[in-house]
Amino acid sequence: MNIVLSGFVDREFTALKILLQRRLNAVVFREACTEPVRLVLLNATRRVDVAHYRRLQALFPDTPMLALGSAPDLEGLETLPQPFNLKTLLERVRQMLRNGSRSVSVQGKLVAASSVQAADKRFDHYDVNSCLAGLLRQALNLQEQKNRDVLLEGPFFLLIQTDGTVISSISRSTLYRLASNRSRDLQFGIRVLEETEKQAWLQGLSSEVRMTRLDREALVWAMAVASSHGELPEQLADTLPLHLTSWPDCTHIENAHLVLPVVAQLARRPCSSSELVHNTGFTTGQVASVVTALFVAGNIQLQESTRPVVWSAGKTPTGISGMLSQLARRMAGKIFGGQPQHKVA
């Protein structure tokens, strides 16, 4: 059965796609679909545009439509008000599918990752350790070893804290620009700060220093992707197996629709970057950006002996299916309306 999702951002689309495909054996598409469609799910957590709804009706005539959230009273549109949980959503979808509908193929291009083939399977490489993303990687490695706050100090400073935040003396946009430019002429010192030393250091800062507090994982990922430009770190050969050591928290990461399939492949078994291109259907540039971020953030390693894959939120679900489903439920939290999501059989 084919289901179309409309009006969802990438991470919401990815979460619902995982849940619906695993629970209903459904095939999930965006609006540009050339296959017969059984159901359209519309995101109504934001304001529903009536013109957009009418366009969907024209694209998918006689096809049931379900709005998730609050929607205006429109002919042919059913609603599932927030809050609801995954079980309620699945029951409602199954009911609408059982009622049956006529659907037609529509003009457009099918959007599916498996249909995307890279014209060139070769990777370009760069020295990540010579730029700001590489300094972040060194700081993160030191923090993991010492379990203490780490200070990266130079023309500006980054205080990487064990509570999952980063205090920066420059803005997020400037950090991303420096990462993208692969600035090589920046000299930094990296050192561990004990709590008393950190407090004294903070008190000694000038009152003119403007500090920005950032989410550590989101910052590291964005800076790693910005530095990649679709190239792999030169430490990672195209055919070298990559081992997943920890799951990234995709609720804080942009382009999670690219991250999840790559991580799922690595969770099954070690894969090289070339294999990931073949298995996911992504381009070399897309795979290189995700792999670079995994490498900088410390989610993968190259040694044959690896630690067991752990759930970054402190949970250890059994099996890859359980981990993906739990992650998808967390990512879909805004759609559900914040109601706790429990495991559904």
H-type alpha helices, the chain: 10-24, 50-59, 86-99, 132-146, 172-181, 195-203, 216-228, 256-268, 273-280, 284-297, 319-331, 333-336
What is the pLDDT, as a whole number, of residue 322?
58
Which is it for strands 39-44 and 2-6: parallel, antiparallel or unpaired? parallel
Between CA 328 and CA 290 the distance in angstroms is: 18
Write the pLDDT tens digit of every residue in 63-73: 888 988 877 77
- Indicate if the pLDDT at residue 110 is higher than 60: no
- Residue 311 is predicted with a pLDDT of 42
Mean pLDDT of the region 72-89: 84
**Which range has highest mean pLDDT (106-110, 118-122, 240-244)?**
240-244
The tally of CA atoms less than 13 A away on the side-chain side of residue 120 is: 7
Lowest mean pLDDT among 118-122, 131-135, 252-256, 285-289: 118-122
Q: In angstroms, what is the C-alpha Rg of the chain?
A: 23
- Mean pLDDT value across the chain: 79
pTM, entire model: 0.57
Pairing of the two strands 212-215 and 165-168: antiparallel
Among candidate residues 300, 281, 287, the one with its CA nearest the CA of residue 231: 287
Does residue 257 or residue 160 have the better pLDDT?
A: 160
Domains for the chain: give ranges and CATH numbers: 2-111 (3.40.50.2300), 127-229 (no CATH)
